[in-house]
Amino acid sequence: MLLVEDKNTHLEHLEDDIINNGFAGGQNAIAFLESLKDMLSGASSSKLNVTTKWDGAPAIVCGPSPDNGKFFVGTKSVFNKTPKVNYTIQDIRNNHEGPVANILRECLQYLSTLGMKEILQGDLMFTQSGKKMTTYKDGTGKSEQMISFTPNTIVYMVPENTPFGRKIAKSKLGIVFHTTYKGRSFDKLSAKFGANVSKLRRSPNVWFDDASYKDVSGNATMTIGESQQLQKMINMASGSLKQSKELLNKIKTEKNTLSVGVQLKTYLNSFIRAASDLPSTKETANKFREFYQERTQKEIDRVKTEKSKEKYQVIQDTGLKFIDDHNTSVYMACATYKSLQKAKAVIIGKLNKAKSIGTFKTTPTGLQATNPEGYVAVDKKGKAVKLVDRLEFSIQNFTAAKNWEKG
């Protein structure tokens, strides 16, 4: 399934849909959870496409140029107002520098051999210099020679003496394609989630794949009991969503940085940045008022003139009154958010059981097994959301230096 939308630059988390799109966003999130439950229970009658989020970097856009048909490579800067499109090594020298320029030179050399007929976007997984041999010792003390690569924050490992490992070892470059573009010019390109890599020319120098979810193990199937428990969580989210409809529809249109809606999203994300689970629904709702008051007070204290202070005082008073007047609805919105998170966690837990490549994170004491970064779900109408264990991965992306930036 392909999702048509603008340039593929950002996807929202499933639970954030209630803040971004109000009651309709909540209904959308619940519909996704229902479809995912059905898919994992083997009872899906609707078309739902799930792709794995590979933790690659940087994003590479390549294929025949809509301007002249020549093969090009680039980063997301091909979507700049003045696109940075690279047809030659000299173009790369002119447009880029440092590690990114080195990466693009290899992409131009190797990806140009795949016979691409359409523009694709993918996450770069490795170049020749980015692979290394690693001796990995599991919990039982057994050692195994692995090929490892760390494009972003996750360390990927493949056993050396396997067909997959030998393929990775021979390859000079690895990439996972996930998006297709069509349009008559760079500024008119529209994105479709999904990439048909079956028609690409195979090359020993390039390991490539699409990002479609593959349950090669057969372990990601829900039992009847698991499906029923998940349904209870979804029902709880649905019930509290109805009771917060008016509030969510009011705040979804707010764009001002100090508006209640924008600050509610910032507040909920602050727990992720602090590597902390949301507290109880009651505490989450009550602490939001404190959070909002503190944030607006900082602005009042920051400005110097009385006129500016009065302006922000009005914003604070109006926002606090709104929160107080909608106290029950704020509680129900937080309850919906938490229920969506819990249901999403169950889905992710099942999807993770089918991973086909070793994923690890670097800790002060060595490598620790971890899960894939997450997934993207696309429904038959073309709507998409990302499913990520935010406590595990979003904090890494908030703080981690990027290997490809460091070179």
pLDDT tens readout for residues 192-244: 888 999 999 999 999 999 998 876 455 678 889 999 999 999 999 999 999 99
Q: Looking at residue 381, what is its pLDDT?
A: 75
Q: Are 146 and 134 in contact (CB under 8 A)?
A: yes
Total Cβ atoms within 10 A of residue 202: 11
Q: Looking at residue 2, what is its pLDDT?
A: 33
Mean pLDDT of 267-293: 93
Phi, psi of 67 (to 5 degrees): -85, -40
Residue 407 has pLDDT above 50, yes or no: no
Q: Looking at residue 368, what is its pLDDT?
A: 82
User: Which of 11-15, 30-34, 103-107 is predicted least confidently?
Assistant: 11-15
Residue 400 has pLDDT above 70, yes or no: no
pLDDT tens figures, 285-335 = 999 999 999 999 999 999 999 999 999 999 999 999 999 999 999 999 999
Q: Are 177 and 197 in contact (CB under 8 A)?
A: yes
Share of the chain above pLDDT 70, in %: 91
Q: Looking at residue 49, what is its pLDDT?
A: 83
User: Which of 68-77, 138-147, 161-170 is predicted least confidently?
Assistant: 138-147
Name 123's Cβ contacts closer than 8 Å, sequence gap at least 6.
Answer: 54, 55, 56, 57, 59, 60, 151, 175, 176, 178
Is the model more confident about 194 or about 105?
105
Residue 4 has pLDDT above 70, yes or no: no
pLDDT tens figures, 45-97 = 556 788 888 999 999 999 999 999 999 999 999 999 999 999 999 999 999 99
Share of the chain above pLDDT 90, in %: 71
User: Which of 8-22, 24-38, 51-65, 213-227 is predicted least confidently?
Assistant: 213-227
Mean pLDDT of 354-374: 83
